[in-house]
Homo-oligomer: A and B are copies of this chain.
């Protein structure tokens, strides 16, 4: 059953008669819930609607500026922070370099400082926060768990750090899960009950959507495709300690490592030029490929073929209706996407690919921040979230 507030938020129902019809709840129950939500200041009367006979019903709408949520998305070297309203719309955002190797306290103090600066001049109070981290996160506890690129972060109480300072609920998740939520709630995957977001950047990860919600698994570790073994005999050591992981032979860090040999190829003229001025980076490879450098293109399409092979398995396993490709490598070239698509179709079963769409993430670099905002909003406005708000209101009323 869908909640009354979900129907209003999604725009599926705007008036009480519509709410009764779509929620399948009794009329008096809908009236009761609407009054409670009005009491919490979460919904208000909007415009008069056309009458279908009797008194014209009023539309109901979410009071999107009743509260704020903080959002943060942390990459290995980049921080994005934002402040959003209860519709998940970013009202302000900012990005700046960080270094996860500084450890949790210094890094999270930066996050906190930047968020409070952004939110300082906004009127309503902060109701919740969502934060994405570049490593495995145990969803229940909000703590990173043995994260390979975050030295000093293992088991650090990220949730506690912020609840203590903000006095509101905080949800911590893996960065790629946040990106998946961003595309699901505000991007190209809206309305897809079965979808997968795949980030091919320095590392490789995915976020899985099942029945319209993120599939986190038992501990919150689901979606980790970067460490699937694709080349068991490979000598490429992965940051996880194994050999031949997908990430170790097709991710951005591997491509940068492969530049040493690639640059000895006399065909790599643009690539050599760009690397000489800009340094050896993923962006240099992408730029050279866009200029038509054959060696750079081959580096990228080789990656696409390997990633596509794993995505074919994922299609057989999960039968999504959409795969959204993000990350700087994934979004590099039309040919990257075309090569991925070919590899997926070659190894997947016909029923699973009958209406499969493989598209590039339109939200791009913002997907994670948008997803962090929606993660907080969706939890705050869930049935459990509303019950929590009512309890809080009752305490304030009594106190």
Contacts and interface: CB of A to CB of B under 8 A. Distances in A.
Nearest to A226: B316
Interface string A329-369: 00000000000000000010111101110000000000000
A211 interface: yes
A222 interface: yes
A316 B228 contact: yes
A280 to B, nearest CB: 29
Contacts of A222: 194, 317-319, 352
A3 interface: yes
Interface residues of A, number: 55
Given A218-B194, A383-B1, A228 B313 contact: yes
Given A32-B26, A213-B211, A215-B215, A240 B349 contact: yes
A379 interface: no
A320 interface: yes
A352 B224 contact: yes
Nearest to A225: B317
Contact of A351 (B29, B145, B193): B145
Contact of A224 (B29, B194, B215, B317): B317
Interface string A194-225: 10000000000010101101011111111111
A28 B218 CA distance: 36
A217 B229 contact: no
Contacts of A29: 25-26, 29
Contact of A317 (B28, B193, B218, B223): B223
Nearest to A224: B316
A251 to B, nearest CB: 15
Q: Which of A28, A208, A318 is packed against the most chain B CB atoms within 10 Å?
A: A318
Nearest to A316: B224
A387 interface: yes
A352 B217 contact: yes
A227 interface: yes
A312 interface: yes
Given A228-B316, A318-B217, A24 B383 contact: yes
B351 A319 contact: no
Contacts of A347: 227, 229, 242
A187 interface: no
A324 B101 CA distance: 40
Contact of A216 (B3, B219, B319, B356): B319
Interface in A246-288: none
A235 to B, nearest CB: 17
A383 B383 CA distance: 19
A98 interface: no
Interface in A1-56: 1, 3, 24-26, 28-29, 32
A378 B252 CA distance: 46
Contacts of A228: 313, 316-317
A364 to B, nearest CB: 24
Contacts of A349: 136, 146, 221, 224, 227, 240
A218 B1 contact: no
Nearest to A138: B351
Contacts of A356: 218
Contacts of A321: 218
Q: Which 3 A-B pairs have the closest CB atoms?
A: A217-B319, A218-B321, A222-B319
Interface of A: 1, 3, 24-26, 28-29, 32, 136, 138, 145-146, 193-194, 206, 208, 210-211, 213, 215-225, 227-229, 240, 242, 309, 312-314, 316-321, 347, 349-352, 354-356, 383, 387
